[in-house]
Amino acid sequence: MKIALVGDIAMFGRYCIKNNSKLFDEFESVKNFLSQFDIVIGNLEAPFCVNQKGILGKSATVSSHPENIALLKYLNITHLNLANNHIGDFGMSAYESTKKILESNGLDWFGTENKQVRLKINNEKISLLGFCSHNTNPSKVNSASKKGLNYLKATDVFQRIKENVKDGYFSILSVHSGQEHVDMPSVDDIKFARAIASKHNYVFYGHHPHVIQGHEKINGSAIYYSLGNFIFDDVYTPRDKSKPLVALSEDNKTGLIAELEIKDGNLISSRSNPIYLGEKQILVGKDLVQVDLNRINSILDDSDSDHYELIRMKKISNYIEGRHKLRDLNWYLSRLNLNSIGILYKAKINSSRYKKEFSTKIDLYDQYL
Q: What is the DSSP string of 248-285?
A: --HHHHEEEEEEEEEETTEEEEEEEEEEEE-SS-EEES
pLDDT at 342: 67
pLDDT at 236: 78
Establish how many alpha carbons lie within 13 A of residue 34's alpha carbon, considering only the half-sphere containing its beta carbon: 29
pLDDT at 224: 97
How many angstroms from the chain centroid is the CA of residue 118? Answer: 20
pLDDT at 261: 97
- List CB contacts of 343: < 8 A, sequence separation 6 or more: 57, 58, 59, 137
Where along the chain do its domains lie? Answer: 2-368
Name the nearest CA neighbour of 27 among 35, 149, 198: 35
Q: Are 164 and 158 in contact (CB under 8 A)?
A: no
CA distances from 160 to 65, 113, 146, 169, 247 (A): 34, 14, 20, 11, 38
Domain 2-368 matching CATH 3.60.21: the answer reads yes
- List CB contacts of 81: < 8 A, sequence separation 6 or more: 41, 42, 43, 44, 109, 110, 111, 128, 130, 174, 176, 207
**pTM score of the predicted model:** 0.93
pLDDT at 146: 83
Q: How far apart are the first and last CA of the chain?
A: 26
Strand 282-284 relative to strand 266-277, pairing: antiparallel
Residue-by-residue pLDDT tens, the chain, 369 positions: 999 999 999 999 999 999 999 999 999 999 999 999 999 999 999 999 998 888 876 778 899 999 999 999 999 999 999 999 999 999 999 999 999 999 999 999 999 999 999 999 989 999 999 999 999 999 989 888 888 999 999 999 999 999 999 999 999 999 999 999 999 999 999 999 999 999 999 999 999 999 999 999 999 999 999 999 999 999 876 666 667 778 899 999 999 999 999 999 999 999 999 999 999 899 998 777 888 888 888 888 877 888 999 999 999 999 888 776 666 555 555 555 555 666 778 889 999 999 999 999 999 999 999
Letter string b/e over residues 16-36, b meaning 16 or more CB atoms within 10 A of that residue's CB: bbeebeebeebbebbbebbee
Distance CA 221, CA 171 (A): 10
pLDDT at 178: 96
Distance CA 278, CA 121 (A): 35
